[in-house]
Amino acid sequence: MSKALTKQELHNLAMNHVGKDLEQRGFEFIAINSKLKRHPQFVCMDKNKQYYFVIVKAVILPENANNYDVVWMESFKKHAQEHNAKVLYAGVGLGNPKGEDLPIYLNEEYLIEYNGIQVIETHLN
């Protein structure tokens, strides 16, 4: 019998996907935090020594992974500014190809919707 992935395991799956993307883009990883509701998930640096705080959000399809809590993001942007870092957001939608009401199972196919990394302007609104 197949085991449904937990929220933490879904989050880790999304982080693995985003981590590979960051690596392909040439970012150097400074710190990684895979715990749920702990932000940022990645602290990275580009070749110009600019720091980036990367937030990864996993959602179950058909929920839109590109949506985030704007009010919370304002406080996070302030945190990034205090550390001279830029903010990147990566939303990842995951789903079961056999039906959106079904869970995602360990070692089985899954759907993924990932539109890449979004740059979040750090000006405070």
pLDDT, tens digit, 9 for 90 and up, residues 12-64 = 999 999 999 999 999 999 999 999 988 999 999 999 999 999 999 999 999 99
In the chain, pLDDT over 70 holds for what percent of residues?
Answer: 97
Residue 39 DSSP label: S
- Given this model, what pLDDT does residue 50 score? 97
For the chain, list the domains and their CATH numbers: 7-120 (3.40.1350.10)
- Given this model, what pLDDT does residue 1 score? 64
- pLDDT band at 7; cut points 50, 70, 90: very high
In contact, 44 and 54? CB cutoff 8 Å: yes
Can you tell me the distance from the alpha carbon of 120 to that of 44, in angstroms, rounded to the nearest whole number?
A: 15
Q: Say how many CA atoms lie within 13 Å of 32 toward its Cβ.
A: 13
